Amino acid sequence: MSLRDGCILVTGGAGYVGSHALVELLEAGYSVVVLDNLSNSTFGSVTRVQEMTGKSIPTYNCDLCDKKGVEDIFSKHKISGVIHFASLKAVGMSVEIPLIYYRQNLIGTINLLDVMKEHGVYNLIFSSSATVYGDPKYLPYDEKHPTGGCTNPYGRTKHFIECILRDLYATDKVCPLSNYAVFVPQQTFVFTAKTPCHYLDSGSLLSIITDLCIVDSMSSAPAINNPSN
């Protein structure tokens, strides 16, 4: 199934970055479905996106820790790819309530990956964070900077998820990724110019995007379908 034959599931799509991604995806001609537990947002943002674009967006108030709820969404919609923004993301709070961060971010992501596999969906863009780099060995960070050594639980959840995704990519007996998969670890600064749509159009099957400048990328919307940008 080509990506455009189905919908892109945007987890955390009601959030700040996720809702901007919706606009880009819709304007690039993708159909989208939103999953969000509304822990840090409302569906008002999605309503505004629908008003702006004139396109309708199925929305689900669903927590990724509710695996059955996630399965229901995959059963209702022909999902061809996922952009995974849903995440608790406050560094300070993650120090105060680490278990909640580990449960929401790690178990939620593992549930998502399980359900994707059950439904034969292997196209994923993961929204990571510059916190995976830990204390800088040099500045500015670039894609070659080592990850790990994170200084807080939030960063560790993102780092662990990157590790999980690398393992899945490496063991394609477990997770049958196509040979033409493009694995893009730590695309820290590329994302400013290259939107999620670029990655989808380039056939990325498992991409990790570290740190996001997607909101800025709104001004470079013409780059969406131009892989040379």
Ligand X SMILES: O=c1ccn([C@@H]2O[C@H](COP(=O)(O)OP(=O)(O)O[C@H]3O[C@H](CO)[C@@H](O)[C@H](O)[C@H]3O)[C@@H](O)[C@H]2O)c(=O)[nH]1
- Which residues of the shown chain bind ligand X in the complex (CB under 6 A)? 12, 14-18, 36-41, 64, 85-89, 104, 108, 127, 129, 212
| 91/221 with CB nearer ligand X | 91
User: Which of 38/218 has CB closer to ligand X?
Assistant: 38
Phi, psi of 220, rounded to the nearest 5 degrees: -110, 35
Instruction: Give the angle subtended at the CA of 8 by the CAs of 6 and 14, to the nearest 5°.
Output: 145
Distance of closest approach, residue 105 Cβ to ligand X, in angstroms:
7
Q: Are the beta carbons of 125 and 190 closer than 8 angstroms?
A: no
Q: How far is the CB of 63 from ligand X (least distance, A)?
A: 6
60 is catalytic: no
Q: How far is the CB of 93 from ligand X (least distance, A)?
A: 12
| Between 15 and 153, CB nearer to ligand X | 15
Residue nearest to ligand X (CB): 15
Could you tell me the smallest distance in angstroms from the CB atom of residue 214 to ligand X?
8
Those residues with Cβ within 8 angstroms of residue 170's Cβ, 6 or more apart along the chain or in another chain? none
| Catalytic residue from among 101, 133, 154, 169 | 154
Q: Kindly tell me which of 6 and 15 has the beta carbon lying closer to ligand X.
A: 15
Residues annotated as catalytic (active site), given as ranges: 154
